[in-house]
Structure 1
């Protein structure tokens, strides 16, 4: 009989206890873990021995309870593509924040860019970075609340009961539509009538220090307060001190049952992130091969030659701010200013996040009602360098309000759920992106709201066969009011036989606003009376029309080139746009229980991600993207519940794909923007297993084969060459096909069509595999638990430009732990090591200013000890 734990049969108090027990159970001794939901049902019904015995799991694998389908059910009964991990699993794998979640979900890739940027990919669907006016492809939900800014995730992993990773579009039940999937972080809930808690501390290499604790206080028989806090710090993994952490997090919850059939839970969380944050490693730079040079078309990147950085610079985990890296970058001088790259700003973070929410549950006869109102705020104050910026500065404040209401119940053989969701977000930001010879300064006010109505019904055709249908209508409205300036220093030297060089003209200073940038320049650099931009720039000038100011000392070159060394051209731009999208999305599925422990299912679901805006002239808008997902799956347990084997076949069709990356606007100025690049086909198989070999020995693992490629992938990029230059003189730096287009008679500019069709999708290795062993040895009063986990990822693309450096090879990482614990887990001491072989695993490779190639890595080898005491 299918174990479905919905509110019609189990009180929410008992269910809360059940979910906590299932998540908190120590996985090292799975034989002790019983079916938590059955325990809850027994508690509610008076413990009917017959029904409890039918679902008893003692002696077999434990049960994880998930709520991914807006109801509590066993992970094995959830007929959807999902990975789930308990809090103990996350601790064992070293998952302290979202950036390391791929340790427990092989289909998920998380990239950490500069500052607070975090990007999520599921099977090639995702974005490298997100800003204040883009939406992520993978939705991040904490305690049932959608988080609009993916940076706002640090407090999420405090006192965690479990994490769910849903793969594929979430088109019916979830807050805002997501095309790639969803991440659900579930904190440990207050336990009514109980006083308990824990304290844990850890210390490791890189001076890693962590302390975490939680206290659950009973408030009468039917209420509780739960308070949790954590501090985590470590020195920089990079030689230059970057890639450090200084994180503080707090969460408080209050649960009460003030009346029969009604309970309420209030939550507040607060967290900060400080330090330098992620750093950038420098690999080298691309230099132009002059036209007419033999073999110019033959390199992996036609027309360009890669100049590797010295070994002391390119070595992983060195960082951009070492003396050797700075010396190498000082040799780079590229268009338009051709001055050496110097005076990098050192990165810093000072970010804070606040969230307040409530969950109210009403039993209205045969119908249950859940209402979740929430408010969140994030404040970002970041300086970062990746990819090799002199400085990128983000100062954003985001506020979001949301409310969700869901009714659920059963009508005859039909189980149903229906509801509405409203989301309203405003982001105000001031940003600057300094690439030495060019600076983009912008200020924006972005607003969006989403209103959705949804419903899903499960038709129980028999005890074993079910049909599922779901529909959602979403209306997304958005607007942006932004002002931006693009400042570019243009070298006027016109030499013969070599590239120009304006080493005597300084690169542009670091500043949050254009006024800050100009204020950092010596007024003597503007020798023409009345043409000093500090006083003469008109911020209300015509959009797209550059205002020109002579820049640099006079008479530096030969008499024929008498004049200023360079020009400073400042181009203002304003963007005031609004748009909306309205879409229906659907889900249809069939589920069949071959036996109580063997489930097969097939489903179709579609999803969309709304369009949006860019602060890039000529590229101000982009369209929605759409995905259709077909799945056939099976979930099984064999051998008296000792062997679990799940398999999933999937096929996704992806249209209008959005990708966000660095590029240039129609005026040739550097810009970060999202574009629609084409279509993808994504198909493969995903298998995972657990095997309780003995009561104290468990094997676990998984494998994914993924064939993800771009059927159509093309975009246009402005041609930066002058009209008199030879054909294909400054073609884009990419291994994709490029076709030079004629000069547009209106704009006076040419362009290239970049075509990457047929390429492997980003962050989508063909083969991925996990394998783990867990062994417990019991003594009279204590137990010794050892774990060893290995992960393999095949070769993959980790950069938007498809250059050889972004094609990383396969890698294998190993983690291990050894725990000495009391038999009833009152205390435990653990020695751990992660990435034992110190593998340098690339997460992002990007092409930045001066065609410098830089990237980031997953953490190097870390090790330490951790102690935990439960009370």
Structure 2
């Protein structure tokens, strides 16, 4: 072993021990692969590693070998401080944490005493396991060699050729695996995202259970178990937090252009108010992109072609800069024609991302990120429900037949036909950094970020609507985290500042004049949070977390009345202070069986509408009880997770098109009432053989509105007024201003508006966008070829039962159950460098919808989001230098 260079930190005793076993490990790798022992690491390609990097590589091998003789569970220290890009072996973290490489000083020895003891034990077990393998007779090796196949990394975890994969997640700001996290979470690897053809957030509905995703112009509407936001303008906020590399994305428009070169996607269900803060009532979707890898030069290429003139090219290059830095550059180009008859619902995007990682010292690492995306084409539009008799499901609103159909409907007021002039032009710029500093008592993490979104699009919602919105977001998160055998904790602070400029026009809507909306919302938020898990007995732990958020919202704006052509001015200024918390307990029945129970809360901030008085709405809140168990059986060949939940959904924020008492048309957000949801989730994963794997996720959700009411003003001609046919709810009234109401509306028992109004009461309805049953099932079989390559078959089925598309509850908004079947056949070369795949998505040709909005001028006519039709194509992949 060479001596340390001048200025280089000497290796620790543990590293020296690991390197000393390096030659033994090297000599036995081929034997181990012949044996087919589970989890055998693949050989490292490219130039040989030297010095400390080689020691880290061999350290991974020794830790893996230790897993051969252990139960596969590291009870102590199973969580490590949150740092993206970490890896695990078995269920024990191998983080490459900088404290492992410090100089051997007394202070460090005191801090790492428990960890060093575990490491020494692992190292001793590694040597024992390797010696045992060397002593195996040739006959035993020959008997076990049959059917062995090289391991493969997947889901950000460790591929076990004889069992279920362990998936690494950071959803709770600490690195662990899905089986050790007391939450309901689904994780998809970057490979699964690519295979599923997911190029934007709306595609996640096809690959996840319990998630409904719609589109409104440039806005993506995400719902988890019915909790989310149908917002169609910047005056509302999402109810499911979307994060990219740990950075909260405040606007649905900002979620685009991120689905390439991904390590994994985490979908967390249930309120995440403690760690994620505001606007995470329904849960969170976390995108984790691939980090630069030190000591590696690699190139990944992927190309795809299919029907609807689809072509996609994705590339990523990783370059090492010396021994302590690396850069990764990735790009993505997508072109696909639209599914609708006028070319809308296309996919035109170009994206690029550059990431630089620098390990400045053994204790300090810095990760810099810059990315840019552009979305073009015609953008998203909708189709009419109920469908025109005999029409194609993908008939656009702008077709001559569709225009004749809508204009002939009772109450049709459109003076002009819908024109095929939709467009989309969105640009996104993002800058961020992450600094991790290992202190003697904890790891300090700093994440500053700036995001800029400039979106311009035109679509049709009963009239041509053109939007030009600009969002500028700044944020800073500071965290301290620590992990030990007895206590894991994270504390931090968060700052968020957003300025928005909104311009919207309704062009020549009906017999009325054009309408223009201008507003400038501003949001500033501060938060402090903490969460800890403490061991109280062998295998038993308690969980506690708390977050305080103070948020101020201000806005100024104007809106032109459709009827009088007069301009109305709006202002608002409100501060919302909220406390979110989480309490719970977890217990290890055995090393592979976990029981947990949690009670958590989440809040979505209140705000203002620029039309439809009253223009202020209150925050909504979700309180959730969850009880679950996570289990491995049959030597890790079978995994069964089961959870039950009960949610109390208070002051629900809903969105509907409305004309207020001044004749101003808009999409208003209001507090509709309360709802109760309860149900359960079953997740089953099985790997009966090395060549076969099967997974099933089924979710049952019972949902009902305990209270739901709204007021609709009764307007004189020429205004369209309120038509009871526009709702399936019970309607009474009109009620004069100040008159008592039979049920409260907008938080008041009287009509607080300036004009007579009808009252709608929707109690008892199923919560919109919540199917009673939903789920997905997948099967994979791999055929080994004589040349060492393989052919794999993948089949996936996604299904959901009937549900309401939006909150008017008219018959056209009730969508039937659907099932989508995807399949692919992939050839992998013997060295795993090349692959070719043919695929088909929605092979059953199912017609399904994910949301909608009622025409404010034609009651009962719904503009609905329609899902993708049957698609097919071929995909080729090249991976060099791994």
Q: Give the TM-score band, short-chain normalised.
A: 0.7 to 0.9
Q: 2:495 pairs with 402, 419, 422, which one?
A: 422
Q: CA deviation at 1:150?
A: 1.0
**2:524, 2:849 → 1: CA distance?**
36
CA distance in 2, matches of 1:257, 1:747: 61
Structure 1 position 807 matched with structure 2 position 814: yes
Moved more, 131-140 or 365-374: 131-140
- For residues 259-314 of structure 1, the C-alpha deviation after alignment (integer angstroms, 9 at most, x for no partner) is 23000000011101101111221235xxxxxxxxxxxxxxxxxxxxxxx63423xx
Q: Would you say 1:388 and 2:465 are equivalent positions?
A: no
Work out the CA distance in 2 between the residues paired with 1:800 and 1:6: 48
Q: 2:400 aligns with which of 314, 320, 323?
A: 323
Identify which of 724, 727, 732 aligns with 1:731: 724
CA contact (8 A) 2:693 2:779 kept: yes
Question: Which residues in structure 2 correspond to 1:351-750 (within 5 Å)?
Answer: 351-385=426-460, 387-389=461-463, 391-410=464-483, 413-434=486-507, 435-438=509-512, 439-488=514-563, 569-720=564-715, 730-731=723-724, 733-744=726-737, 749-750=755-756
Mark the runs of 5 or more structure 1 residues left unpaired by the alignment: 23-33, 285-307, 489-568
Q: Does 1:850 align with 2:858?
A: yes
1:292 maps to none
Residue 311 (1) aligns with residue 390 (2): yes
Q: CA deviation at 1:35?
A: 5.8
Superposed CA deviations along residues 170-209 of structure 1, whole A, max 9, x for unmatched, are 1111143421111100001111111112001000000000
- The corresponding residue for 1:840 is 847
In the TM superposition, 1:169-180 aligns within 5 A as 169-180=271-282
1:110 aligned residue: 213
Q: Is the 8 A contact 1:785 1:820 kept in 2?
A: yes
Per-residue deviation at 1:730?
A: 3.5
What secondary structure is seen at the aligned counterpart in 2 of 1:152? helix
Measure the CA separation in 2 of the matches of 1:730 and 1:863: 44
Q: Which residue does the alignment assign to 2:803?
A: 796
Residue 462 of structure 1 and its aligned partner are, at CA, apart by: 2.8
User: How far off its partner does 1:219 sit?
Assistant: 0.9
Q: Is the 8 A contact 1:5 1:71 kept in 2?
A: no
Cα-to-partner distance string for 1:603-627 (whole Å, 9 max, x where unaligned) = 0001111110100142210011111
Cα distance in 2 between the residues matched to 1:151 and 1:211? 23
Which stretch shows the higher mean deviation, 273-282 or 674-683? 273-282
Instruction: Give 1:76's match in structure 2, choosing from 134, 154, 179.
Output: 179
Q: 1:868 to 1:747 in 2, by over 3 A?
A: closer
Distance 1:606 1:716 in 2: 29
Q: Please tell me whether the aligned partners of residues 713 and 722 of structure 2 are also in contact (alpha carbons under 8 angstroms).
A: no
Q: How does 1:277-292 map to 2 (within 5 A)?
A: 277-284=379-386
Q: Check if 1:275 corresponds to 2:373.
A: no
| 2:865 counterpart of 1:863 | no
Describe the SS at the equivalent of 1:151: helix
Shift in alpha-carbon separation, 1:36–1:8, aligned structure 2, 3 A: closer
Q: RMSD value over aligned CA atoms?
A: 2.6
CA distance in 2, matches of 1:213, 1:5: 40
Matched, 1:754 2:760: yes
Q: TM-score, normalised by structure 2?
A: 0.81
The worse-fitting range, judged by mean Cα deviation, of 118-127 and 371-380 is 118-127
1:208 paired to 2:310: yes
**Structure 1 residues 829, 411: CA separation in 2 closer, same or farther (over 3 Å shift)?**
closer
* Aligned pairs for 1:126-145 within 5 A: 126-145=228-247
Separation in 2 of the partners of 1:210 and 1:339? Answer: 39
CA distance in 2, matches of 1:427, 1:10: 35
TM-score (norm 1): 0.82
- 1:336-384 deviations in Å (ceiling 9; x for gaps): xx56432536110000111100000001112110000000000011011
Question: Residues 339 and 111 from structure 1, CA distance in 2 versus in 1: closer, same or farther, beyond 3 angstroms?
Answer: closer
Query: In the alignment, is residue 831 of structure 1 matched against residue 824 of structure 2?
Result: no
Q: Given the alignment of the two structures, is residue 18 of structure 1 paired with residue 26 of structure 2, yes or no? A: no
Moved more, 589-598 or 435-444: 435-444
Deviates most, 661-670 or 79-88? 661-670
**C-alpha separation between the residues in 2 aligned to 1:469 and 1:684?**
24
* Alpha carbons 1:465, 1:591 under 8 Å: kept: yes
Equivalent residues of 1:4, 1:74 under 8 A apart = no
Aligned residue for 1:91, secondary structure, equals: helix
Listed as ranges, the matches of 1:41-52 within 5 Å are 48=123, 50=125
Provide the residue aligned with 1:816 in structure 2.
823
